[in-house]
Amino acid sequence: MHQEFLLNAYQRHLAARDLADPCGPSILRYHPYKLCDSEGIAPNFRIPMVDMQVIQDLQSLINCFNAWVTEMRKWQAWLPILDDFDTAERWDLRIEFVDPIAHHCMLEPSAMRDRFSSALYFLLHHANLSTGTGYRDELEADRSEIAALKNGKSKPRYLQRSRLDEEITKLSVRCSWKTADSVIEKLQLLDDETLRKETLNYRNAASHSIAPRFEMGVIPYVKRQFKFSESRVPRGDGTIAMQEDKTRIVLSYGFGEHEPLQHVQTFQVIRMQVKNARDTLHAYETLLLEVFGSIQAKEKEAAGATD
């Protein structure tokens, strides 16, 4: 009986997904591989094989984005179906189908941002190396890697996100890439502070602690932090105001609980992150074309000088 219930619900889910056009005007449409499929579009960078890597990075970014879109479309199809069932049945459907999809989608804004940053860092460095006069094949991360190698340690971890953002900006400015600013600006909207507030910092909590639940169940917490001391200051109307004393720092404990996230509202929040990722992808492709054009122009200039 339970198996039949799950099967019927899943068949409704599949039918709902069939009604949507995966390549239509919706935010949740697949991104085309047009630039990847343009044979010979990438010029020869200074370092051999980098042209192949740059195209492969773009293809991987599109693969990951489209996979995220697929999961979002699954999540979207379940939302109206859940409303047709009572609390116990919704619980079963959520555990079996919906919550794992939502969990995956909640992790993607951070993952996509890191993927974009990695590809952008690689692209800008080799673009500068192939076009910039006096630019050397050196990166900020090289120093710690060399030091670790000398000390017999394993390769250092990736640069922290804030440090990587700084290095990407420096690489962009170094050779004045006109379209890089748009990529960097749009990239900041992925996994930003607004998202963390609206999702109760779900991604970090899921990876490093205990994440908020979906629909039902609260997560109690005790928060330990340092803060400026506060004192009570009487107001003229007889009430009391709290005033910070920035000369004294004290240890403070906060007590509370995280309410569960609601699927419908949370889906809309993540849906806008998909839009931000798509905008970043478009901007990244525009930057690629600028880089390709600049390298090709330099090749023609060099060829003309030797004639």
Q: Are 9 and 90 in contact (CB under 8 A)?
A: no
Q: Do 208 and 67 belong together in one domain?
A: yes
Q: Would residue 187 count as lying in a domain?
A: yes
Q: Do 167 and 296 belong together in one domain?
A: yes
Q: Which tokens hold the place of 113?
A: 């941002």
Task: Using CB atoms within 10 Å of the CB of residue 234, give its burial: 0 to 12 exposed, 13 to 18 middle, 19+ buried.
Answer: exposed
What count of Cα atoms within 13 Å lies in the side-chain half-sphere of residue 64? 20
Structural domain range at position 251: 219-258
Q: Would residue 119 count as lying in a domain?
A: yes
Q: Do 240 and 282 belong together in one domain?
A: no
Find tokens 């993952």 and name the residue.
111
Q: Do 246 and 164 belong together in one domain?
A: no
Q: Do 64 and 95 belong together in one domain?
A: yes
Find tokens 């991360």 and name the residue.
141
Q: Would residue 106 count as lying in a domain?
A: yes
Number of compact structural domains in the chain: 2
pLDDT at 268: 96
Q: Do 247 and 292 belong together in one domain?
A: no
Q: Do 120 and 186 belong together in one domain?
A: yes
> Across all residues in the chain, what is the average pLDDT?
90
Q: Would residue 130 count as lying in a domain?
A: yes
Q: Do 231 and 103 belong together in one domain?
A: no
With CA atoms as reference, report the closest residue to 277 among 111, 138, 118: 111
Residues 267 and 262: their CA atoms lie apart, in Å, by 8
With CA atoms as reference, report the closest residue to 115 among 158, 69, 173: 158
Q: Would residue 263 count as lying in a domain?
A: no
pLDDT at 291: 96
Q: Would residue 281 count as lying in a domain?
A: yes
Q: Do 63 and 144 belong together in one domain?
A: yes
pLDDT at 27: 87
Residue 11 neighbours by CB distance under 10 Å:
10
Show the DSSP H helices in 22-139 as ranges.
Answer: 50-82, 87-93, 99-131
Q: Would residue 33 count as lying in a domain?
A: yes
Q: Do 182 and 237 belong together in one domain?
A: no
Q: Are 283 and 242 in contact (CB under 8 A)?
A: no
Q: Would residue 93 count as lying in a domain?
A: yes
Q: Do 249 and 280 belong together in one domain?
A: no
Per-residue CA distances from 287 to 49, 127, 175, 200 (Å): 19, 10, 13, 34
Helix axes 2-18, 50-82, angle to 10 degrees: 120
Q: What is the pLDDT along the chain (307 residues), one digit of tens a residue?
A: 889 999 999 999 999 988 877 776 788 999 999 999 888 888 999 999 999 999 999 999 999 999 999 999 999 999 999 999 999 999 999 999 999 999 999 999 999 999 999 999 999 999 999 998 889 999 888 887 888 888 887 766 678 899 999 999 999 999 999 999 999 999 999 999 999 999 999 999 899 888 889 988 877 777 788 888 888 888 878 788 888 888 889 888 877 777 899 999 999 999 999 999 999 999 999 999 999 999 999 888 777 766 5
Q: Which tokens hold the place of 281?
A: 């992808």
pLDDT at 135: 92
Q: Do 52 and 198 belong together in one domain?
A: yes
